[in-house]
Amino acid sequence: MFIASKYEEIIPFSLQKIYEKIGHEKISMNQLKQTEAEILNTLGFNVSFPTLDILSNLMIKYLDSQDFFSNYSPQSKDFFKSLNSYMFKLATLDYELMSTYNYKILAVSSVFVSIQVMQQFFPNFNQFQFVLPLLDLIGLNYDQIIQPSTKLLTLAKSYDKSFSNLKNLKKYNLEDINKKTAQCFNKNT
């Protein structure tokens, strides 16, 4: 379950959570790590690709290393990360997006849409100059992300209609995003 959560969950279980909640503290953390290593060695480390969470976080780390957030408050960076997380979670709920595009394209699309949304909240957040170098770094071009980005933005705008029965994402959307927006505006005004 530990290995599967790393490859199938948006945000994988921590070793601590596996130890406490799933293993009920009956298997040591060291045993969990050793068993994981045995399984991976047996499989020749031939496992699936990284999750959207991992890919988009790597992209955000790259952007951060390029001074993407240098002119903005730490709260703005946190808001961007939350917004991006919300976007890739939305993508995982849409069958068409998940079956049409690979994770790399979806991760870049979630970052791209997050930049677009940030510009709506902060008109001076003009960070598109970072998009093309990011695309170049991961071997994509602008044309490859326009359609999935547009679909993702449309999905975000129509969330209430498309996923009205999903209370957890609605709670995340309304409470977390609004709270982080307020924090950013309080720090940046």
Closest CA to 109 of 145, 76, 73, 153: 145
Domains of the chain, start order: 2-42 (no CATH), 52-188 (1.10.472.10)
Mean pLDDT throughout 108-121? 88
Angle at 136 between CA 131 and CA 141, to 5 degrees: 75
Is the CB of residue 97 less than 8 Å from the CB of residue 154? no
Q: What is the pTM of this model?
A: 0.66
Q: What is the DSSP letter of 12?
A: P
Closest CA to 107 of 69, 134, 74: 134
**pLDDT tens digits, 169-185:** 555 554 555 555 555 54
**pLDDT tens digits, 62-88:** 988 988 888 888 888 888 898 898 898
pLDDT at 49 over 80: no
pLDDT, residue 188, reads 45
Higher pLDDT, 91 or 73: 91
**Residue 81 burial class via C-beta count within 10 angstroms: exposed 0-12, middle 13-18, buried 19 and up:** middle
Is the CB of residue 148 less than 8 Å from the CB of residue 100? yes
Rounded CA-CA distance 104/126 in Å is 23
